[in-house]
Structure 1
Amino acid sequence: MTLQTLGFIGLGVMGEPMCANLAAKSGARVLCHDLDAAPMRRLAERGAVPADSLRALAHEASVVFLCLASAQAAESVVEALAEAWQGSGGVRTVVDMGTTSVLATRRMAERLAQAGHRFVDAPVARMPAAAIAGTLSIMAGGTAEDVSALMPHFRCMGSDITHCGGTGAGQVVKILHNTVLFEAVQSLAEAMAVARAHGVDGAVLLDAIELGSADSRAARVQGREALLPRHYPEGRFATRYALKDVSLALELAQAVGLEAAMARETASTLRRTIDAGWGDRYYPALYELVSAAPPRDAAND
Structure 2
Amino acid sequence: MTLADRPARLGFIGLGVMGEPMCRNLALKSGAEVRASDLDPAPLERLRAHGIRSAGSVAEAARDADAVFLSLPSGAVVQSLAEAPGGLLENAVPGQIIVDLSTSPVDLTRELARRFAERGAVFVDAPVARTRAAAEAGTLSVMVGADAPVFERIRPWLACFASDITLCGPSGGGQIVKLLNNMVLFETVMALSEAKAIGERAGVDPALLFETLSKGSADSFALRNHGMKAMLPGDFPERAFSVSYAAKDLAYALALAADTGVAARGAQLVRALFEQAEEAGVADRYFPVISTLPGS
Task: Please give the TM-score of this superposition, normalised by the length of structure 1.
Answer: 0.94
Pick aligned residue for 2:53 from 49, 54, 76: 49
Q: What letter is aligned with 1:83?
A: E
Answer yes or no: is 1:97 the counterpart of 2:101: yes
Structure 2 equivalent of residue 268 of structure 1: 272
The alignment status of 1:82 with 2:89, answered yes or no, reads yes
- Please list, as runs of the form range in 1=range in 2, the aligned pairs for 1:139-150 lying within 5 A after superposition: 139-150=143-154
Distance 2:222 2:7 in 1: 42
Query: Take 2:59 and 2:220, find their aligned partners in 1: how far apart are those partners?
Result: 45
Structure-1 separation of matches of 2:215 and 2:227: 14
Q: Does 1:289 align with 2:296?
A: no
Report runs of 4+ in structure 1 exceeding 3 Å deviation: none
**Alignment partner of 1:268: what SS?**
helix
Cα deviation for residue 290 of structure 1 reads: 5.0
Whole-angstrom CA distance in 1 between matches of 2:139 and 2:249: 22
Shift of 1:84: 2.1
CA–CA distance in 2 between the matches of 1:291 and 1:225?
22
Gaps of at least 5 residues in structure 1 are: 293-301
Alignment match of 2:119 (pick from 110, 115, 119): 115
Aligned equivalent of 1:297: none
Letter in 2 for 1:247: A
Within 1, Cα distance between the matches of 2:175 and 2:280? 29
Residue 71 (structure 1) aligned with residue 75 (structure 2): yes
State the partner residue of 1:37: 41
Q: What is the aligned partner in structure 2 of residue 158 from structure 1?
A: 162
Give the match for residue 141 of structure 2.
137
Name structure 2 gaps, 5 residues minimum.
none
Q: Deviations over 1:48-85 (max 9, x none)?
A: 11111111122221200001011111012223112123
Q: Deviations over 1:123-155 (max 9, x none)?
A: 000000000111000000010111110011010
1:244 to 242, 248, 258: 248
Kept after mapping to 2: 8 A contact 1:22/1:153:
yes
Give a deviation string over 1:88-113, Cα, whole Å, max 9, x none.
x5421100000000011111111101
Mapped pair 1:21 → 2:21: no
**1:190 counterpart = 2:197:** no
Contact 2:168 2:174 in 1 (8 A): yes
Question: How far 1:291 sits from its partner (Å)?
Answer: 4.5
SS at match of 1:232: coil
Is 1:6 aligned to 2:42, yes or no? no
| In structure 2, distance between residues paired with 1:142 and 1:40 | 30
Secondary structure of the 1:165 match is coil
1:253 equivalent in alignment to 2:260: no
Instruction: Check whether the contact 1:273–1:288 (CA below 8 A) recurs between aligned residues.
Output: no
Secondary structure, aligned partner of 2:31? coil
1:161 aligns to what SS in structure 2?
A: strand
TM-score normalised by structure 2 residue count: 0.95
Distance of 1:270 and 1:68 partners within structure 2: 21
Contact 2:11 2:68 in 1 (8 A): yes
In structure 2, distance between residues paired with 1:134 and 1:14: 11
2:184 to 176, 180, 183: 180
Q: Percent identity?
A: 46
How much does 1:31 deviate? 0.5
Q: What is the aligned length? A: 289
Query: Superposition RMSD on alpha carbons, in Å?
Result: 1.1
Letter matched to residue 82 of structure 1: L
Letter matched to residue 174 of structure 2: G
Query: Contact 1:193 / 1:290 at 8 angstroms: preserved in 2?
Result: no
**2 CA distance for matches of 1:156 and 1:58?**
20
Measured against aligned partners, the alpha-carbon deviations of 1:181-226 in whole angstroms (never above 9, x if no partner) come to 1100010011100111111110111122011111111111111111
Provide the rounded CA distance (Å) in 2 between the counterparts of 1:55 and 1:250. 34
> Which has the larger share of helix?
1
Give, as a single letter, the amino acid of the residue that structure 1 aligns with 2:126: A
